[in-house]
Structure 1
Amino acid sequence: MTYLWIGAIVVTPAIIFGLIVLKSKVEYPEKSLFYCFLNSCMIPLRLLRLGPFRHGKVSLDKAMKYAMRKTKLTDFGDMTFAESYSFITNTPSHQALKLTNLGHIMFRLELNMSMCRRLRFQQFLKDCPEVLNIRVPTPVFVMGLPRTGTTFLHRLLSLDPQVRAPLLWELLSPVPGHTGAPNATVFADDRLKRNKFVRKLIQDRESMGDRAMEHIHEIGADLPEECLMVLSDEIPTHLSFLYSDYVHHDVFFSKIDFERVKNAYLYYKKVLQLLSYQVGEAE
């Protein structure tokens, strides 16, 4: 009888945990079973607000404070981006958003990265204002609704050797650790370092079994990527299109008006100028 009780004590929690994992798999069929396993393992941590969950709900304010501590910088530039984030995070669809445990961690990581990137970008422009003298030839805009082939067309156009299509790693980590006049050797080493950093981010995510995006959008550090990631430094595009099940466009643009979108693309232009500056392109 004693052995039966011991067996029940050991087996019952295992069965319950297995059911939790299966429930997670049913709720998120696009996720791998390993992802669902890890996600379920983090339930106690989230309930007790331990480890990666100790800071509670993800917010822009917390991300900004983290970025200032991380970079030792304080100038975010024009603060209208904070208003734009507030508009979207206060929508009913975002308020009702239920992130998985791993999704919570990824959300925090990406928002923290965005704010760190913004601080470093502002500082680099102060140190090297000549970046803004770099000429950006008339860009080609690929526009369309989600799932209509825009990524396919974008990557097809990027195959043209006369076209400069920013790569994912460049957009996620565009700011060099080196300032001053363009130096081919120094910038090349720095670019390699940032490339490895983004590669590791992607590998870490994949190691957790999270490859859900790949069935709709191929991800790769060295693949051409769209402007979504950089625009998120100005307007919450990644919140709306990655974490809110594609917030209805009417809702998004009722909150984010033309001027805010225009400012986001002017910001993106500066990022393109910075990327050109690093490879020694003249005015």
Structure 2
Amino acid sequence: MPDIRIDDLAEPRLTERQRAAIDAAPPVTMTVEAVLGAARAATGLSDFGAGDFRERLAIWLASYDEDRDLGALGRATLFGECVRYAVARLRIEDLWRRHPEIAAVAIDRPIMVAGLPRSGTTHLVNILAADPRLRSTPLWETMEPIPGPDDIGDRDQRRARTAAMWGGFEEMLPLMPAMHEMAPDHVHEDIELQGPDFSSYLPEWLSRPARWRDHYLASDQTPHYAYARRVMQALSWLKGPARWVVKSPPHMENLPALAAVHPTAIVPVTHRDPVAVLQSAITMIAYGDRIRRVRQDLPALAAWWIDRIEVLLRRCVRDRDAVPAARSIDILFHDYMADQKATVAKVYALAELEMTPEAEARIDHFLAANPRNKHGRVAYDLAGDFGVDVGAVRERFAFYYDRFPVRKEAVPGERL
């Protein structure tokens, strides 16, 4: 299969379907009350719990308003995400109110994978989640973590809605699965469980929310990890087991918060050349931006994520010892890709989890069904598409190369 080359990132050639979706996007008002009113109307509920989230929601919305290149579809999408999280918050509070026994659910020794975006964290967590003894967050459940009154039955309608929504999204952006598949049953990031508390770096993937980024980086994330743990308790109460396997890149920049909330957590940390990570991540974002933004500024997009990855990695290097060595392992991407089962075996040993015949059979089946580049391989051009001085970026990340012996991956036009 030939490499996939996306040659219209700067000046997208929109399809008729993409144009129709943009034209059909409804106008939205980025106010807290508009979001909360829509959530109340969707659920018939009104108790959002502790009110401190309103300030964070207001910053999200102000950041979206200040992102002048967001188009109508981008704004409508982000407003819809806020409503989705507010709906989830209402249902979480309602479930806890009706079932206070959820507080007794123990989240013990969760396996919490950290690592840069595009460094194999999604693949690793899906391998581990093949073991039925572990609880995970499939995409359909992160989209709607608590069932509504019409979702109870033999066939959960939440999964059907997620399949329909993401199926339509991938039809509109058909190259997206080659960069990041969004199958309903694949495990998704657990920072989605912080979404109803309106925290994490989630807004940065769909916009350039400078006001929110600055607030997030200046704030202790421990309360939001505690909120996500509360959601995990509810999900385990609804359907066990209670030992979890999750993943999210921001765990790398929040290791003290993670360790404070989950003192028994097992934390595998994947490490990959940040230049390779950068070219993959921003190409994926730029491809999606064709339907979200009215103007593509690829150098600005690159600059944003160079800065963000640097902050994330500096915090990881600073705080790496926040998780004791007895409960953590560093996984180098090139070693992981060379022998995935050996990597999984190391995680199992660290987690004191027996590799049963059933678990191994399920893991083998997942690996066989999901080879690398299953949907094709995208050809990237960091310098040509984004105007990035690769040598200068490598110098900025020298502190990370010095701390972790990741293998540098050559990018177009570079000789290593």
Q: If the length of structure 2 is used for normalisation, what is the TM-score?
A: 0.49
Match of 1:235 among 192, 198, 203: 198
112-121 vs 233-242, greater mean Cα deviation: 233-242
Distance in 1 separating the partners of 2:52 and 2:141 = 24
Alignment of structure 1 residues 165-180 onto 2, 5 Å = 165-177=136-148
Q: Is the 8 A contact 1:32 1:210 kept in 2?
A: no
Query: Aligned match of 1:57 in 4, 25, 29?
Result: 29
Distance 1:77 1:167, change over 3 A: same
How far does residue 109 in structure 1 lie from its aligned partner after superposition? 2.1
77, 85, 93: which one pairs with 1:114? 85
Cα deviation code 1:83-123 (max 9, x no counterpart) = 223345445x8712522333233222222111111111111
The equivalent residue for 1:33 is 15
Aligned to 2:39: 67
Aligned to 2:117: 146
Q: Structure 1 residue 126: deviation in Å? A: 0.7
User: 2:258: which partner in 1?
Assistant: none
Q: Is the 8 A contact 2:30 2:79 kept in 1?
A: yes
Q: Distance in 2 between matches of 1:171 and 1:77?
A: 20
* Alpha-carbon distance in 1 for matches of 2:238, 2:146: 9
Corresponding residue number in structure 1 for 2:180:
217
Shift of 1:227: 1.2
The structure where helix makes up a greater share of residues is 1
For residues 252 and 78 of structure 1, the distance between their equivalents in structure 2, rounded to whole angstroms, comes to 19
> Residues 1-283 of structure 1: matches in 2 within 5 Å?
27=10, 29=12, 33-39=15-21, 41-42=23-24, 52-53=26-27, 56-90=28-62, 95-177=66-148, 189=154, 192-207=156-171, 209-211=172-174, 213-237=176-200, 239-245=202-208, 251=214, 253-255=216-218, 257-258=219-220, 261-279=221-239
After superposition, the Cα gap between the structure-2 partners of 1:228 and 1:34, relative to the gap in structure 1 and judged at 3 Å, is farther
Contact 1:198 1:221 in 2 (8 A): yes
Amino acid at match of 2:138: L
> Would you say the 8 A contact 1:168–1:224 is kept in 2?
yes
Q: Is the 8 A contact 1:134 1:281 kept in 2?
A: no
Deviation (angstroms), 1:39 = 4.3
Q: How many residues align?
A: 236
Quote the offset at 1:32 in angstroms: 5.9
Describe the superposition over 1:214-236 as per-residue Cα deviations: whole angstroms up to 9, x where unpaired: 34321111111111322111134
Query: What residue ranges of structure 2 are gaps of 5+ in the alignment?
Result: 1-7, 243-416
Asked if 2 retains the 8 angstrom alpha-carbon contact of 1:88 and 1:252, the reply is no
Q: Mean Cα displacement is larger for which, 117-126 or 82-91?
A: 82-91
Q: Which secondary structure state, in structure 2, belongs to the residue aligned with residue 141 of structure 1?
A: strand
Segments of structure 1 that go 5 or more residues without pairing to the other structure are 1-24, 47-51, 180-185
Task: Check conservation: 2:194, 2:224, Cα contact below 8 A.
Answer: yes
| Alpha-carbon distance in structure 1 between the residues aligned to 2:53 and 2:188 | 22
Identity %: 25
Distance in 2 between residues matched to 1:252 and 1:38, nearest whole Å: 35
Give, in whole Å, the separation in 1 of the partners of 2:33 and 2:96: 23
CA contact (8 A) 1:32 1:211 kept: no
2:160 alignment partner AA: K
TM score, norm. by length of structure 1? 0.69
CA distance in structure 2 between the aligned counterparts of 1:28 and 1:144, rounded to whole angstroms: 32
Indicate the SS of the match to 2:222. helix
Q: Counterparts of 2:210 and 2:126 in 1: how far apart (Å)?
A: 25
In 2, the alpha carbon distance for the partners of 1:164 and 1:119 equals 23
Residues 33 and 83 from structure 1, CA distance in 2 versus in 1: closer, same or farther, beyond 3 angstroms?
same
Which letter maps to 2:136? Answer: A
